[in-house]
Amino acid sequence: MKNKNRPSVHSFVVGFILVALAVIDWHDQSTTTPPTSVTQSAPRGPLNVRKEIHDTWLTSLDQLSARSGDPELLEIRDFVRSHAVLAEPIPGDVRLLSTAPKQDPWFSFVPMIETDETLGDPWQAFATQPFMGSYVPYQRVMIVKDFLIAPLWRGLVFAHEGWHAKRHLTGQTQKNGDWQHCLEEVGAHSFENRVARSIGGTPYAEYIRQELKRIDAELTRVNATIQQAFPNPPTVYDFRLDQAFGQALSDTDRENRIFNASVDAMFQYIDMNWRIPHNEKHGQKAAILCTMYRKNGIL
Ligand SMILES: [Zn+2]
């Protein structure tokens, strides 16, 4: 069931980038990240485990969609449901575990489990990278890992990757490259931020207000613009993120929320404080994201 029209996964092993401390997105440079645990696979057949992970992710996306009602999110949910084909990793490639839709553009959905690290690269490399989800455009593969993560946040991670998949498969993404990647991420995060606000209620709004104050105070302290000195995300997890999105179930879950909320606050800060045209704001946000990625060894 190999798609012969695509280059092998192996040839694309260098095409990854870490995002938000735990989410990988596409890119054209290799990254080095410390090893981390990957999955909590039960002692069952891998096919059943992959199917369970696949179903869990889709259920989370459904829950998020029902809670949010955001029209674009609903489109992405429908796109993912009708275009994702369950697949498993094999050495240097993927193998479909269910029938591909007759119509393109479909993509392979690969839930990774612990034993996949024995399949050699690129799977061994992926296994050591602490991402929750990743969409790889050239391979048309979305890879997800079964980290312990609360359902609504898992749905949000899935929605973010689904946004990339839909953009790519409907021909809306630009050529690859650092700068283009950062511009694309502004779109993905803007969408994700909006959905987060739609379900986060008062606790999330208060958390962001506090973040905006913190950013302002920090910039005043160092006498710099946000582009010159965007403050690092908080190091302490705030319980309001639990109130907003359900109790976090792991450090990965918590770190990802902190980072993404920090991006939301940064975007809002620029929108509220900078009197420049919209397209220039998009570029400024991309520039800061690039800086944040570089700080975290992502670019
Ligand atoms: Zn992304």
Looking at the chain, the whole-number percentage of residues with pLDDT higher than 90 is: 59
The most confident of 131-140, 203-212, 213-222, by mean pLDDT: 203-212
Closest CA to 156 of 193, 127, 121, 187: 193
The pLDDT value recorded for residue 298 is: 65
> Could you tell me the pTM of the whole model?
0.83
Burial class (CB in 10 A: 0-12, 13-18, 19+), 164: buried
Mean pLDDT of the chain: 83
The pLDDT value recorded for residue 297 is: 63
Looking at the chain, the whole-number percentage of residues with pLDDT higher than 70 is: 83
pLDDT of residue 259 exceeding 80 = yes
Question: What separation in Å is there between the alpha carbon of 90 and the centre of ligand 1?
Answer: 25
The pLDDT tens digits of the residues spanning 96-141 come to 998 877 677 899 999 999 899 999 988 998 888 778 898 988 889 9
Question: What separation in Å is there between the alpha carbon of 179 and the centre of ligand 1?
Answer: 13
Show the CA angle centred on residue 33, arms to residues 27 and 35, nearest 5°: 130
For the chain, what are the domain ranges? 10-169, 178-295
Question: What separation in Å is there between the alpha carbon of 158 and the centre of ligand 1?
Answer: 10
Least-confidence region, from 77-81, 181-185, 219-223, 292-296: 292-296
Q: Give the pair of three-digit tokens for residue 171.
A: 């021909």
Spatial strand order in the sheet of 141-145? 93-96, 84-90, 107-112, 141-145, 133-136
Question: What separation in Å is there between the alpha carbon of 161 and the centre of ligand 1?
Answer: 6
Pairing of strands 84-90, 16-19: unpaired
Question: What separation in Å is there between the alpha carbon of 180 and the centre of ligand 1?
Answer: 12
Question: What separation in Å is there between the alpha carbon of 162 and the centre of ligand 1?
Answer: 9
Backbone φ and ψ of 283, nearest 5°: -65, -40
More confident call, 4 vs 164: 164
What would the mean pLDDT of 7-17 be, rounded to a whole number? 29
CA distance 68 to 196: 8
What would the mean pLDDT of 224-251 be, rounded to a whole number? 91
The pLDDT value recorded for residue 258 is: 96
Measured on CA atoms in the order 10, 36, 42, 159, is the torsion positive or negative? Answer: negative
The pLDDT tens digits of the residues spanning 161-200 come to 999 999 999 988 876 788 888 999 999 999 999 999 999 9
Residue 107: enclosing H or E segment and its boundaries? strand 107-112
Measured on CA atoms in the order 186, 189, 193, 194, is the torsion positive or negative? Answer: positive
pLDDT of residue 13 exceeding 80 = no
Neighbours of 192 (CB within 10 A): 22
Question: What separation in Å is there between the alpha carbon of 40 and the centre of ligand 1?
Answer: 24
For residue 272, name the pLDDT band (cuts at 50, 70, 90).
Answer: very high
